[in-house]
Amino acid sequence: MDLFISDLHLDDSRPQICELLLRYLAGPARDAERLFILGDLFEFWIGDDYPNPLADQVAAGLADLKASGTRLYFMPGNRDFLVGADYCGRAGLEPLAEPVTVTLGHQSAVLCHGDALCTGDEAYQAFRAKVRAPGWIEAFLAQPLAQRLEFARYAREESARQNAGKAAEIMDVTPSEVVRLLREQGVDLLIHGHTHRPGLHDVDVDGRSCQRVVLGDWYEQGSVLVFDHDRLTLQQLEHQPPHC
Ligand code: LP5
Ligand code: MN
């Protein structure tokens, strides 16, 4: 069995998501051969050197799962593309660069976070190209933590402000990009997150019937894609009611 998750947006302000993840890692996830995390595990990440007790707890939970025999893979999202080798090492995560093709039973699937497919969002793609450039990353990580934290705060605020004015289609994947990726990779299945619009979609690629599976976020409940016995199922995990 393989599992796919994304868009947990773990943050101190939402402790119930972290609790749900840790319970899942210590429970049902133990039966999995592989766990794929397809980005935005964290709400934001400004460098492995940022003291972060929540991330330490998650690393311990992941490392325990790895020790029990599950292989763990991490693909960066637009919020946590600065997760580095130090954190991956501590958590037992094998980094994956997107897009990547993996074998699932009798078929192959291409995996990505999903933001690169939103090509109609030109402002975001311009921002993405800037902040993913190795020179920009190096300069950013060389800044003091307080300055990095301030930039992340500003970028999140500005992003939320700009998002409020963007049309719904702009915030979703561009259909022709989905077709292009499936054609380029020569596979029938695409799995991604980012849009927070969970679902299974049929896609026609030059007469081939393909599928696009979108993972959901973890705000209201956990979203897990399970691949088992050649079947894909999108599962929901309930949060624990808050303690009184
Ligand atoms: O994540 P989500 O779904 O809310 O929105 C994304 C796009 N926004 C982003 C920005 C992040 O949310 C904020 C940064 C995360 C913290 C990481 C810190 C690491 C270092 C800092 C580098 C970032 O990814 C949003 C999309 C949306 O998905 C749907 O696809 O629309 O894109 C934007 O809103 C982009 C804006 O249009 C432009 C970005 C404004 C940021 C202002 C900073 C200016 C400085 C530029 C210098 C390079
Ligand atoms: Mn995202």
For 79-123, what is each residue's pLDDT tens digit?
A: 999 999 999 999 999 999 999 999 999 999 999 999 999 999 999
pLDDT of 168 reads 87
- Residue 244, pLDDT > 80, answer no
Band (pLDDT 50/70/90 cuts) for residue 243 is low
Give the tens place of pLDDT for each residue, 65-77.
Answer: 999 999 999 999 9
CB of residue 219 inside a 6 A radius of ligand 1 = no
CB of residue 162 inside a 6 A radius of ligand 1 = yes
Closest atom of ligand 1 relative to the 151 alpha carbon: 21
CB of residue 124 inside a 6 A radius of ligand 1 = yes
Strand partners, 108: 103
pLDDT of 165 reads 87
Listed residue (117, 126, 133, 104) closest to 194, CA to CA: 117
State the first-to-last Cα distance of the chain, in angstroms, to the nearest integer: 37
Q: How far is the CA of 181 from the centre of ligand 2 (A)?
A: 18
Q: Which of 42, 148, 159, 171 to mutate to test the pocket of ligand 1 (most atoms within 8 A of CB)?
A: 159
Q: Which of 78, 121, 161, 194 to mutate to test the pocket of ligand 1 (most atoms within 8 A of CB)?
A: 78
- Residue 51, pLDDT > 80, answer yes
Q: How far is the CA of 199 from the centre of ligand 2 (A)?
A: 16
Closest atom of ligand 1 relative to the 81 alpha carbon: 19
Band (pLDDT 50/70/90 cuts) for residue 240 is confident
* Ligand positioned closest to the Cα atom of 114: 2
Mean pLDDT of the chain: 96
- DSSP annotation of 180 reads H
Query: Is 77 or 170 the better-scoring residue by pLDDT?
Result: 77
* The pairing of beta strand 189-192 with beta strand 107-111: parallel
Q: How far is the CA of 114 from the centre of ligand 1 (A)?
A: 14
pLDDT of 122 reads 96
User: In this structure, which residue's CA is closest to atom 34 in ligand 1?
Assistant: 159
Band (pLDDT 50/70/90 cuts) for residue 32 is very high
Give the tens place of pLDDT for each residue, 193-211.
Answer: 999 999 999 999 999 999 9
Contacts of 151 (CB under 8 A, 6+ apart): 46, 140, 143
Q: How far is the CA of 145 from the centre of ligand 2 (A)?
A: 23
Given its phi and psi angles, is residue 92 left (phi above 0), alpha (psi -120 to 50 degrees) or beta?
A: left
pTM of the model: 0.97
CATH code for the domain defined by 2-237: 3.60.21.10
pLDDT of 166 reads 85
Q: Is 35 helix (H, G, I), strand (E, B) or coil?
A: strand
Let me know how long the chain is: 244
Tokens of 130: 């800037």
- B/e letters for 48-62, b = 16+ CB within 10 Å, e = fewer, are beeebebbeebbebb
Give the tens place of pLDDT for each residue, 134-168.
Answer: 999 999 999 999 999 999 999 999 999 998 888 88
For the chain, which residues make up each domain, given as ranges? 2-237
Other CB atoms within 10 Å distance of the CB of residue 215? 28
CB of residue 131 inside a 6 A radius of ligand 1 = yes
Query: Is 225 or 243 the better-scoring residue by pLDDT?
Result: 225
pLDDT of 8 reads 98
User: In this structure, which residue's CA is closest to atom 44 in ligand 1?
Assistant: 155
pLDDT of 95 reads 98
Listed residue (46, 32, 39, 206) closest to 140, CA to CA: 46
* Cα torsion through 37, 202, 186, 196, rounded to 10: -20
